[in-house]
Amino acid sequence: MIKIKISKTLEAKIRKGYPWVFKYQLQSDVVDKSSGGLAVLYDHKNRFLAIGLWDPDSDLCFRVFNLFEPIDIDTQFFLKRFQQALLLRKGLKEQGTTGYRVLNGENDGFPGLILDRYDKTWVLKVYAKSWFLYLERMLEVIKTEKNVEQIVLRLARNTKDSSSNFFDGKVLYGPDPIVPVQFYENGLKFHVDVVSGQKTGFFLDQRENRLQIKEISSGLSVLNVFSYTGGFSIYAISGGCRSLVEIDSNSFALKSSLQNLELNFPGEGNFEYLQIEGDAFQKLHELKLQNSQFDLVILDPPAFARKKKHRPQALEAYSRLAEIGVQLVAPGGRLFSASCSAHISAEEFYKAVNYGVESANKRLKEITKTRHASDHPVKFAELEYLKSITGWVKA
């Protein structure tokens, strides 16, 4: 097996649970660079420190599976961790939720792997090519659960490889092609495109925030910016909002949102509903010129900082968005603003939002600040990405 060594400083960090080694941090020459799979990390006294996934092609070349103790990475190993993860999500079904994250990567002991469940369709998303070697074992493990009709593979950008048998959207188990997939979230119905939708098809991480929106929506006019397939919209309507406007640049997402509307409220038309397709910043500006006002403005954009070097522009964009968004909030109204950029800390994000709000000569009186939903546990600061703030907008 590949043997790797690192600095004492990184060793200390790994001992405390940090899960990664990047290529530039390797201190030993790795003899067999061609074989992906497993590697063992040794400490400065040449003793076993960790076993983990080895990805020689990737900058992030080692991901810890197990610390301090050598262990077989076999079906039993995966099964035990899978069962622990399921236990953590046990209460969700009783809450009317059949779509949720089952394995949240490193946080559930599956570094570089996500497993999302949409009722009977389970979607594995891999972020490291070395996982290809363990997919068979993962299928065995997942199939120990009762409700598994299909297992679909999704690939992160860095794992796409035209020479591989694995491609994005491949059906690993069950009927192919995939029939339309539906699931419940807090008793509301959604359809999801698990093959070409973003992430694994749905933003499951916002479930608890969406519930919060439902609870405050009664009688409100709502603007849902970056609406995607209508997650927040359906909750706002089910909470009794008076009117709803969605903005998104993706026409497929908007169509999909309409389908979700029809799925939950067939033929009901007792609220105003409008979709606007285009760039959010531009469309918000146009709404402002028309003096449009809303009781609740929801801002849930894509990650503005995908890389560390994008942080300054991202912070500026969060501010600009809050600045224009807040100007569309009617007197006595509220703003919800979220960020899913891992490279922006919660504190930096809240600061950027407040800066934007103040630039519009308004104040945000905080109601809640939230982080990850319960099926997205976070054990490492580096993996904490979601943060949101809801506040009353004051003049």
Distance CA 19, CA 15 (A): 9
DSSP-based three-state secondary structure for 185: strand
Residues 286-345 that bind ligand SAH (CB under 6 A): 300-302
Considering the complex, state which of residue 103 and residue 280 has its C-beta at the smaller distance from ligand SAH. 280
48-54 and 60-67 strand pairing = antiparallel
Stretch that binds ligand SAH, among 113-121, 214-222, 245-253, 315-323 (CB under 6 A): 245-253
Residue 279, interface with ligand SAH (CB under 6 A)?
A: yes
Radius of gyration of the chain (CA): 22
84 and 107 Cβ atoms separated by less than 8 Å:
no
Residue 253, interface with ligand SAH (CB under 6 A)?
A: yes
Nearest to 173 by CA among 196, 152, 154: 152
State which of residues 203, 336, 349, 385 lies at the interface with ligand SAH (CB under 6 A).
203
State which of residues 182, 249, 293, 345 lies at the interface with ligand SAH (CB under 6 A).
249
Distance CA 122, CA 204 (A): 13
CA atoms within 13 A on the CB side of 353: 29
Considering the complex, state which of residue 52 and residue 230 has its C-beta at the smaller distance from ligand SAH. 230
Residue 205, interface with ligand SAH (CB under 6 A)?
A: no
CB of 104 to ligand SAH, least distance (A): 17
State which of residues 245, 280, 321, 326 lies at the interface with ligand SAH (CB under 6 A).
280
Could you tell me if residue 226 is left (phi over 0), alpha (psi between -120 and 50 degrees) or otherwise beta? left
CB of 229 to ligand SAH, least distance (A): 6
Residue 158, interface with ligand SAH (CB under 6 A)?
A: no
CB of 249 to ligand SAH, least distance (A): 4
37-42 and 60-67 strand pairing = unpaired
Query: Dihedral of CA 128/133/137/139: which sign?
Result: positive
Alpha-carbon dihedral angle through residues 234, 237, 239, 244, given to the nearest 10 degrees: 110
DSSP-based three-state secondary structure for 78: helix
Site string for ligand SAH, 353-372 (x = CB under 6 A): --------------------
Residue 206, interface with ligand SAH (CB under 6 A)?
A: yes
CB of 140 to ligand SAH, least distance (A): 32
State which of residues 232, 304, 318, 350 lies at the interface with ligand SAH (CB under 6 A).
232
Residue numbers at the binding site for ligand SAH (CB under 6 A): 203, 206, 226, 228-229, 231-232, 247-250, 253, 279-280, 300-302
